[in-house]
Homo-oligomer: A and B are copies of this chain.
Amino acid sequence: MTSSDNGKLYFDSDYMEGAHPAILKRLLETNPEKTPGYGSDPYTASARDKIRTACATPEAEVFILAGGTQTNAAVIGALLKPWQGVLAAQTGHISTHEAGAIEFTGHKVMTLPQKLGKISAEQIEEALEGWAGDGNRDHMVMPGMVYLSQPTEYGTLYSLAELEAISAVCRRFEIPLYIDGARLAYALACPKNDVTLKDLARLCDVFYIGGTKCGALFGEAVVIPRPGLIPHFFTIIKQRGALLAKGRIAGIQFDTLFTDDLYLKIGANAIETAAAIKAALAEGGYPFAIDSPTNQIFIVLSPEQKKKLTDKVSLSFWENLPDGRTVMRIATSWATTEEDVNALCALLKESAR
């Protein structure tokens, strides 16, 4: 199943490899040690401290959970009051690919139309004012928080100005802003990005730093800049099945990712290899479905191109277009090799006409 095993290339997603070698090395080194469970070990404590420092929020609460859907459901379920729902882009991960996890917690995902996978401060304001001004609002779900992804499900980025505007709306209406950073390392490493961890900590009420897709075996670190925002979150995490007994396994991973700024650098390889692939695509005249600056590339393939390419390279299906063509996704990661990129670019050249 490795790229070289059967001659096939794999560019399906950014969670196909294991973990960054530095993580495995530390798991190995610490393996025989005995530590208390549930995140009360010294490695998790150290990871928390380093994350607080990286975010310039010395008071922040940090919780490490196992996966993205789990994290979204735990955070959103904990932030919303019974009469509230969460505003999100129609293409937001919680709206589409989490199997109804938010609804399972009893809350509506209130979708807004997206542009390039993003929603705007204006749309959010309009939704909040729409609810507030509706004579039937007490019969309706109140928009009680905002969910964004950075980068988005389409690999695009919110600019600092966009986030500041959204944050300002949320604060004016006194509802929390939550950012899903499943692929955050790829935003942080992107030259077009102008939003730092410190900005996120300043502008959000809760956000999570993705590990699973960014070099860890698993793990997402939830940051709550102002402590006390979610009382008894530990127990809520336990109740939602999201508490790891051997918490240190997650702690060690984030401790490593936040040692020597590894997390800030780990995405660079994905961005660079994606850029090389995008150049090859452009040269080959492949239409892009969306202009995305990070590690996800969305291309439009004719049936022939799709057949030709997917015989030799595994890609993600995205969407069938009415004209018979297909949108496919190419994803690079922190672990993508130059060898695989070269092979893919050669293939793209070959299939271009």
Answer whether residue A1 sits at the interface, using C-beta atoms and an 8 A cutoff.
yes
Taking a contact as CB atoms closer than 8 A, the residue among B33, B42, B69 that contacts A18 in the complex is B33
Answer whether residue A231 sits at the interface, using C-beta atoms and an 8 A cutoff.
yes
Answer whether residue A240 sits at the interface, using C-beta atoms and an 8 A cutoff.
yes
- Which B residues are in CB contact (< 8 Å) with A312? none
Which of A114-122, A199-207, A244-252 contacts the other chain? A244-252
Evaluate contact between B106 and A104: CB separation under 8 angstroms: yes
Evaluate contact between A69 and B218: CB separation under 8 angstroms: no
- Scoring A residues 190 to 216 as 1 if CB is less than 8 Å from chain B, else 0, what string do you get? 000000000000000000000011000
Given A101-B238, A234-B138, A240-B101; A213-B245 close (CB under 8 Å): yes
- Scoring A residues 62 to 94 as 1 if CB is less than 8 Å from chain B, else 0, what string do you get? 000011111101100110011101000000000
Q: How long is the Cα–Cα vector from A243 to B241 in the complex, in angstroms?
A: 11
In terms of DSSP, what is the predominant structure of the interface of chain A? loop
Q: How long is the Cα–Cα vector from A12 to B320 in the complex, in angstroms?
A: 46
Evaluate contact between B28 and A236: CB separation under 8 angstroms: no
> Count the A residues whose beta carbon is within 8 Å of the partner chain — how many?
83
Answer whether residue A302 sits at the interface, using C-beta atoms and an 8 A cutoff.
no
Taking a contact as CB atoms closer than 8 A, the residue among B13, B17, B81, B231 that contacts A32 in the complex is B17
A57 CB → nearest B CB, Å: 23
Given A33-B2, A36-B12, A99-B140; A241-B69 close (CB under 8 Å): yes
Known: A24-B27, A104-B239. 14 other contacts (CB 8 A): A1-B34, A17-B33, A82-B239, A83-B100, A83-B236, A96-B140, A99-B138, A101-B238, A103-B141, A133-B320, A135-B317, A136-B317, A138-B234, A241-B242
Evaluate contact between A30 and B12: CB separation under 8 angstroms: no
Which of A17, A19, A109, A142 has the most chain B CB atoms inside 10 A of its CB?
A: A17
Answer whether residue A259 sits at the interface, using C-beta atoms and an 8 A cutoff.
no
Copies in the complex: 4
- Which B residues are in CB contact (< 8 Å) with A3? 34
Answer whether residue A306 sits at the interface, using C-beta atoms and an 8 A cutoff.
no
Taking a contact as CB atoms closer than 8 A, the residue among B30, B82, B238 that contacts A139 in the complex is B238
Answer whether residue A217 sits at the interface, using C-beta atoms and an 8 A cutoff.
yes
Which of A24, A68, A101 has the most chain B CB atoms inside 10 A of its CB?
A: A101
Evaluate contact between B18 and A249: CB separation under 8 angstroms: yes
- Which B residues are in CB contact (< 8 Å) with A106? 100, 103-104, 106
* Nearest 8 interchain pairs by C-beta: A70-B241, A18-B31, A99-B239, A16-B34, A83-B235, A99-B238, A100-B141, A10-B34
- Which B residues are in CB contact (< 8 Å) with A140? 96-97, 99, 235
